[in-house]
């Protein structure tokens, strides 16, 4: 009979620990991480790729630039100047 009481105490203590851990996890405020959803800093490669565009694509089997590609190149030249 004594082992039955000990098991009950262990279950109660384990339940209390899990309950305390669950309450502690819920009470923390979430901190906003820097960089998520914020604009890129001026003059950085991240700004270059988001604002100007870092890729110029060609059509298949062609070396001619599309009007969109020319606009990207103009923007890159302006950003670099």
Domain extents in the chain: 42-81
DSSP string, 16-69: HHHHHHHHHHHHSPPPPPTTSSSPPPTTSHHHIIIII-S-----TT--PPPHHH
pTM over 0.75: no
C-alpha 67/C-alpha 75 separation (Å) is 12
pLDDT digits (tens, 9 = 90+) for 14-60: 777 777 776 666 655 655 555 556 677 777 888 878 888 888 888 88
Estimate to the nearest angstrom the gap between the alpha carbon of 5 and the chain centroid.
49
């Amino acid at each position: 009979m004594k082992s039955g009481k000990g098991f009950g105490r262990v279950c109660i203590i384990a339940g209390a620990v899990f309950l305390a851990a669950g309450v502690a996890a819920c009470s923390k405020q979430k901190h906003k991480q820097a960089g998520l959803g914020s604009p890129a800093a001026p003059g950085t490669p991240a700004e270059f790729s988001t604002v100007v565009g870092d890729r110029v694509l060609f059509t298949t089997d062609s070396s001619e630039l599309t009007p969109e590609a020319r606009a990207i190149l103009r923007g890159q030249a302006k950003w670099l100047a």
